[in-house]
Chains A and B, each alone.
Chain A
Amino acid sequence: MAINVDIQPAVPVVNDDTKDAVVIDSLTKIFKKSRPLLRWHKKNAGQKEEKREVRAVDNVTITIKRREIVGILGSNGSGKSTLIRILSTLLIPDSGHVSIFGYDVVKNDRTVQRLINRVSVEASFFKKLSPMENLIYAARLYNMPGDEARLEIRRILGRLGIKPDRIGAPLENMSRGMQQKVAIARAFLTAPIVLLLDEPTTGLDPRSKNDVQTFVRELRDEHDATILITTHDMDEAEALCDRVAIIDQGRIVALGDALALKRAVTGIMGRSEMVTMHEVFMHYTAAHLITETDIERYGSWEKAFEAFEAQREDDEE
């Protein structure tokens, strides 16, 4: 199913097939916690200064090709959403560069905004308004005429399983899952060529998850969209993504197609059967990257993992 939305940008956006879709180069974003008004202790000032800094994204480099679906896996607070926000022009990085089809997200933010859309984990809407009112508002911001937008909205919402009688009723009366579907419809409506999905299926039932995944694939296959998706769902990452990046404490610690990552970890763990994506994730986000030497030293991957986790807890105390 094609999503045919003709958006006419003010300045023709050069959507060069030969260019990489998303180029992230040495990207770093540090957040500083606010200082307390009164400081009683001045000891270890340097150490405290460091603790006030949160390195949300730490020297990340990745290139995503046109029509590629790349999954970002990471624990809570690992920097996934910060990365998505930088790509969405909502955050300005401290260092490094991000370009989307050659347009810098900071210098050419308006051009980038025409190329992208985003779905976040929270379905952010005017809850008293209906799905139609919310989506018409979004469509007009992206230069869609009202009549055309209304037809598209009905079609996409129908495709996502939202009944026609719900389209005009306030969103506050809908379940979280239904609201999330409307959020997904909002992103699809503007036919982005780069779609940023930040845990889009969190809270959805299995059937709805399936609908969304099918829709994402169709968007790529028929609209040539490039998709960056963050998720906690390992099955989803494996089923949907051409490549998977695992991010831990702001750094990309593994990148490759799911099968290659599984093979690599299976080898490290010395298993005869292929490990799961869950085990791949646990391996790369362990307190300390477990090597074959560690496995030899502790007797097994699991024992090494437990030992390093215990050590991390001690360090944190």
Chain B
Amino acid sequence: MSSLMHQGRATYAFFERNWNLTRRYWGWELVWLVYNIVNAMSVTYIGLSAQLITGVKINTNFFILYLLIGTAVWSYLSVTFDGVTDIINMERWEGTIEYTFMAPISRFTHMIGSCMYAVVHGLLFTILQLLIVGVFFHIDLSHANFVTAIVILLLGSISFIGFGIATAVLPLLYTEKGMQMSFIVRAVILLVSGVYYPVEALPQWMHPIAYASPATYVIEGLRAALMRNQPIWSPEILSYIWPLLLTGIISIPVGIYIFGIAERYAKKTGKLKRNG
């Protein structure tokens, strides 16, 4: 009981610390929000101008919503993924990594506390972005099922936390360039997950990679929820839920296991020491 209480306090410590950091770096949060909104608008304008570009009459509203969901989900996954990989990046930057690693808490508690904040932060950030961009393009969300959308997003977050924890190994082991290396993982997920185009558009050999990415199911699930009003119990949504559950159940323990191996290696080679 005492141990549970301790791990609970430690989980809250990470949540509270990250919230305090967000408050103190509010200017950066604002810049990042504007950047994401501008990015989302740039992509969504492709949908708005598709008729002008091709000269063919198409359902512009459908295309806009299709792309907008892609940008919103991508923004959410990026913010969440950044939050998770920042577990190490930020501590290296601030020089606090050794103090966190010598605290008497399990690595699971460390990761879960940081990830919980990343999910909440990512959700709030994306809802704000979606509202602002949605107003700009007068999006028709009359066919949207928001409950399904939130369930899919949360389930997707679990998988992404696992991927993020495994990716956090890169800044742990590669002090100078680890953070940039984690961008590669994100870029591959962006390429294969059908964020702005259907997965079927990819060459055949990429399909297995696409179906291994949880982002593929999150995006397809959200499109089904927001564009076609699919309830959670519909066969289509269930077909996205079970792969998300499966990748979530597998990726978190695997991520923590990989991180544990990397931590031991870092402690053997003295890689925890260098900051910045």
Chain A positions near chain B (C-beta within 8 angstroms) = 8-11, 31-32, 82, 85, 88-92, 110-111, 113-114, 116, 118, 120, 122, 124-129, 133, 136-138, 140-145, 170, 186
Contacts and interface: CB of A to CB of B under 8 A. Distances in A.
A9 B2 contact: yes
A89 B264 CA distance: 11
B86 to A, nearest CB: 12
Contacts of B268: 91-92
A222 to B, nearest CB: 23
A124 B96 contact: yes
Interface stretch (B19-27, B35-43, B190-198): B19-27
B2 A126 contact: no
A10 B2 contact: yes
Given A137-B20, A143-B2, 11 more contacts: A85-B273, A88-B102, A91-B267, A110-B104, A126-B96, A127-B94, A136-B13, A141-B13, A141-B104, A143-B10, A143-B104
B25 A128 contact: yes
B24 A170 contact: yes
14 contacts: A9-B2, A9-B104, A31-B269, A82-B270, A89-B101, A91-B268, A124-B99, A125-B94, A126-B94, A141-B10, A142-B104, A143-B2, A143-B9, A170-B24
Q: Which 3 A-B pairs have the closest CB atoms?
A: A10-B3, A140-B13, A113-B104
A113 B267 CA distance: 15
Interface of A, helix, strand, loop or mixed by DSSP: loop
Interface string B71-95: 0000000000000000000000011
B16 A129 contact: no
Contacts, number: 103
A90 B13 contact: no
Contacts of A89: 101-102, 267
Contacts of B21: 126, 128-129
Contacts of A31: 269-270
Nearest to A115: B104
A92 B267 contact: yes
A126 B17 contact: yes
Nearest to A140: B13
B237 to A, nearest CB: 39
A205 to B, nearest CB: 23
A125 B2 CA distance: 28
A128 B24 contact: yes
A85 B99 CA distance: 11
Contacts of A137: 13, 16-17, 20
B146 to A, nearest CB: 35
Nearest to B96: A124
A124 B273 CA distance: 12
B12 to A, nearest CB: 6
Contacts of A90: 98, 101-102, 267, 272-273
A129 B9 CA distance: 19
Contacts of B100: 141
